[in-house]
Amino acid sequence: MNEMSRRRFLSRLTVALTAFISAIVGLPILGYLLAPLFHAPSDELVPVGAIGDFPVGETKLVSIRDPSPLAWAGQTADTALWVRRRDVSGPQMFQIFNVNCTHLGCPVNWQASAKLFLCPCHGGVYYSDGTVAGGPPPRPLFEREWEVSGDRLLVRQQPLPTVKQG
Amino acid sequence: MRLLRGIASWLGERFELEDSVMAVLRHPVPRELERPIGWWYVLGSATLAIFVMQVVTGVGLAMTYVPAPNSAYDSLQFISHDATLGGVVRGMHYFGAGAMVVLVLAHMTQVYLFGAFKFPREANWLTGSLLLLATLAMAFTGQLLRWDQDAFWSVVVAAEQAARAPVIGNWLATLVVAGSNVGGATLTRFYATHVFLIPAAIFGLIGMHLYLVVKRGISEPPVPGLPVDRPTYRARYAEMLRRGIPFWPDAAWRDATIAAAAVVVVVVLAAIFGAPQLGKPPDPTNVVADPRPDWYFLGYFAILALIPPATESIVIIGLPLFAFVFLFLVPILWPDGERHWSRRPAAIAAVALPFIAYASLTVAGIESPWVPKLEGGALPASVTQGLGASERRGADLFVSKACFACHAIEGAGGRRGPDLSHVASRMTRDQITARIATGGGGMPAFAGGLTPSELDDLTTFLLTRK
């Protein structure tokens, strides 16, 4: 075995060992950091309140709490939703909107007298049914699935608006 | 004194400082830097000084800040109001962040206008561009650590913007908030990114940047009519350095002077104004929010309101991408030729236009005329006095139905839509009624929100505005 090929072998061995070290250190940490990608978001139904709390024709702000938050999540375990009661009963009874503007996610605010949702960031405007009335939003407010169970209104947990939705 | 000198010389010898630190500090620089033009060559050092200050104040803040969503806000209130000198340290970190953005941009502008990015210093520019990126990333993540209402919604907005990226958008957004919603896992990630990840990259990049500055030598002040010629430049520059001066101390004193001035400005601002006020607590269920980024990002914030919605995804992803790709390509596309700005009119335009554009956008961002005024208010008495009963009801509806949020009359009201002070002089009753009922041109239709008699009162009131 001549000197040159021995050196070439040793350099390749060193590079290979370094790559091996990087891999056994890197793979666990990469998996740890990318973990959020592999967790399916919760789609549990969580209670919003009693149906009687929502008069027909009105739109009210409610907050729901993540059923299993991290212990240190504090207020971030809460999510606000706009609940619109359209009907006394039936499939058209409620519309439940995410508060996030479909433009960039700022919280929209319901103006009861003007019957409009207004966004404070870039001026998006929506009608009471969530359709766009003006400004930059590309689509209506995101709606959530809901169910009535007895006299309780339940709503489905959901990821951030544009995440995993069209 | 003699003892001190003895110790210094012992340390210098034992640690071989003469061969390492002093040799680097004494590297030759062009003799022209002795002249007043040398004052232009100090911006990098000033940035470095502020960066060191950011590290020191950042470490200090990290001793007290609690990066958990349920405690971060309270720990910041404690730092700002109760901790000894906490307000000053947080203020230094805050004003230092602004100073970093300003100085990095000033340094880059000077290097660009002096043509110092050209051969053989292309890699200096590339590492510098990455440092600019890192600085902006630090500024953004730092604002989020403030963890007040603005910060909370900024995270949401960041995730939404990331989600606009093609193909990988949803993954990016999920990684930004570390889950499917902003929650317990989000803040710690931003914290680790802000205090470990990006600073580690910055340390490495500063090392490369400074190594290249010393290795390639500081560029000589440009002379009109003396272009960079790649085959002969190195020999010409080496010849220039033979007649050069040592950086330490012949040029370094100017760097130290400006660095000291920059640090003094930041410390004085921090001492006078203290830490920036925190907004409301980060309560996702409080939707009465008015999220705004810090001043250096207001221009970008404004773009997102002003461009046509259809172009938005392209602008959100494409514009920053284009800007940075262009930045990286600068030394590759123009490695030689004239360096002096007076022979590069396009270069002057390439600096002036973005600065003017961004300044205008920043002003627009501060005023935010596109945002409906939700705080309420009232029409001026001059508008409402002497109105008849129907006109009077119309004036009340104008305020209560939020027309007022977007339309001004005699200086009161929002600026989203046209000023209606003299609307009756340009529109008829039928036109006004139709516009209110059906909207258009960005205005909502109010037919569903007004009874026919309310619509009539409103129109009657507006007809008084001749």
Query: Which DSSP helix (H) or strand (E) runs through B436?
Result: helix B429-438
Residue A162 included in any domain:
no
Q: Which domain holds residue A70?
A: 45-156
**Whether residue A22 sits in one domain with residue A72:** no
Measured CA to CA in angstroms, residue B155 lies from B137, B162, B182, B317, B363 at distances of 13, 10, 7, 17, 23
User: What pLDDT is recorded for position A164?
Assistant: 41
Report chain A residues whose CB lies below 8 A from the CB of B182: 76, 160
**Whether residue A25 sits in one domain with residue A82:** no
Q: For residue B371, what is the nearest residue in chain A, using CA coordinates?
A: A123
User: What pLDDT is recorded for position B205?
Assistant: 98
**How many residues are present in chain A?**
166
* Tokens of residue A3, six digits: 């000197």
**Whether residue A76 sits in one domain with residue A120:** yes
In this complex, do A79 and B291 lie within 8 Å of one another by their Cβ atoms?
A: no
Name the residue among B337, B127, B132 with its Cα closest to residue B212.
B127
Return the CATH number at A82.
Answer: 2.102.10.10
Report chain A residues whose CB lies below 8 A from the CB of B301: 121
Count of domains forming chain A: 2
Task: Please report the residues numbered 153 through 182 in chain B whose beta carbons come closer than 8 angstroms to any beta carbon of chain A.
Answer: 153, 156-157, 159-161, 163-164, 169-171, 173-175, 177-182
Residue A12 included in any domain:
yes
DSSP labels, A110-122: EETTTTEEE-TTT
Spans of all domains in chain B: 22-367, 381-462
Measured CA to CA in angstroms, residue A61 lies from A75, A149, B284, B420, B426 at distances of 16, 20, 12, 33, 40
The span from the CA of B73 to the CA of B148, in Å, is 6
**Whether residue A149 sits in one domain with residue A97:** yes
The span from the CA of B210 to the CA of B212, in Å, is 5
Q: Hey, which CATH number is domain B22-367, 1.10.486.10, 1.10.3720.10, 1.20.810.10, 3.30.499.10?
A: 1.20.810.10
Q: For tokens 């335009």, name the residue.
A: B349
Name the residue among B206, B155, B179, B159 with its Cα closest to residue B45.
B206
Residue A29 included in any domain:
yes
Strands (E), B207-295: 245-246
Q: What is the pLDDT of residues A100-154, one digit of tens each?
A: 998 888 999 998 888 899 888 888 899 999 999 888 888 999 999 999 998 999 9
The span from the CA of B108 to the CA of B117, in Å, is 9
Task: Residue B157: count other Cβ atoms within 10 Å of its Cβ.
Answer: 21
In this complex, do A162 and B185 lie within 8 Å of one another by their Cβ atoms?
A: no
- Under 8 Å between Cβ of A106 and B157: yes
Determine which of A104, A113, A116, A117 to mutate to test the interface with B (most B C-beta atoms within 10 Å).
A104
**Whether residue A52 sits in one domain with residue A85:** yes
* Tokens of residue B221, six digits: 């002040």
In sequence order, the 6+-apart residues with CB closer than 8 A to the CB of A144 are A81, A96, A97, A98, A155, A156, A158
Interface check for B442 against chain A (CB to CB < 8 A): the answer is yes
**Whether residue A82 sits in one domain with residue A101:** yes
Pairing outcome for strands A132-134 and A45-50: unpaired
Give Cα B136 distance to the centre of its chain: 7
Q: In what order do the strands lie in the sheet with A125-127?
A: A109-111, A116-118, A125-127, A132-134
Q: How far is A114 from chain B (nearest CA, A)?
A: 4
**Whether residue A22 sits in one domain with residue A62:** no
Determine which of B149, B160, B161 to mutate to test the interface with A (most A C-beta atoms within 10 Å).
B160
User: What pLDDT is recorded for position A159?
Assistant: 64
Mean pLDDT of each 10-residue bin along chain B, 466 residues long: 91 90 92 94 97 98 96 96 96 97 97 96 97 96 93 89 84 86 89 97 98 94 94 94 94 96 98 93 87 88 83 82 91 94 94 94 88 76 86 89 86 86 91 88 83 91 90
**Whether residue A69 sits in one domain with residue A116:** yes
Task: Residue A124: count other Cβ atoms within 10 Å of its Cβ.
Answer: 28
**How many residues are present in chain B?**
466
**Whether residue A101 sits in one domain with residue A131:** yes
The span from the CA of B342 to the CA of B311, in Å, is 36
Is A40 exposed, middle or buried, given 0-12, 13-18 or 19+ CB atoms closer than 10 A? exposed
Residue A165 included in any domain:
no
Determine which of A78, A98, A121, A141 to mutate to test the interface with B (most B C-beta atoms within 10 Å).
A121
Look up residue B441 and give its amino acid.
G
* Tokens of residue B100, six digits: 């970093």
User: What pLDDT is recorded for position A166?
Assistant: 36
How much is the ipTM here? 0.88
Q: For tokens 């002036």, name the residue.
A: B352
Residue A163 included in any domain:
no
CATH topology of domain B381-462: Cytochrome Bc1 Complex; Chain D, domain 2 (1.10.760)
* pTM, full prediction: 0.91
Q: How far is B466 from chain A (nearest CA, A)?
A: 25
Name the residue among A104, A119, A112, A48 with its Cα closest to residue A80.
A48
**Whether residue A126 sits in one domain with residue A151:** yes
Q: In which band, very low, low, confident or very high, does the pLDDT at A1 lie, cut at 50, 70 and 90? A: low
* Tokens of residue B354, six digits: 């973005």
Report chain A residues whose CB lies below 8 A from the CB of B374: 109, 111, 118, 120
Residue A127 included in any domain:
yes
Pairing outcome for strands A78-85 and B28-29: unpaired
In this complex, do B285 and A75 lie within 8 Å of one another by their Cβ atoms?
A: yes
User: What pLDDT is recorded for position B317?
Assistant: 81
The span from the CA of B252 to the CA of B198, in Å, is 28
Evaluate whether B22-367 and B381-462 have a shared fold: no
**Whether residue A57 sits in one domain with residue A21:** no
- Under 8 Å between Cβ of A109 and B374: yes
Look up residue B428 and give its amino acid.
T
Q: For tokens 């007076």, name the residue.
A: B342
* Tokens of residue B234, six digits: 């190195």
User: What pLDDT is recorded for position B263?
Assistant: 98
The span from the CA of B262 to the CA of B50, in Å, is 7
The span from the CA of A96 to the CA of A64, in Å, is 12
**Whether residue A101 sits in one domain with residue A74:** yes
The span from the CA of B394 to the CA of B400, in Å, is 10
User: What pLDDT is recorded for position B457?
Assistant: 92
User: What pLDDT is recorded for position A165?
Assistant: 43
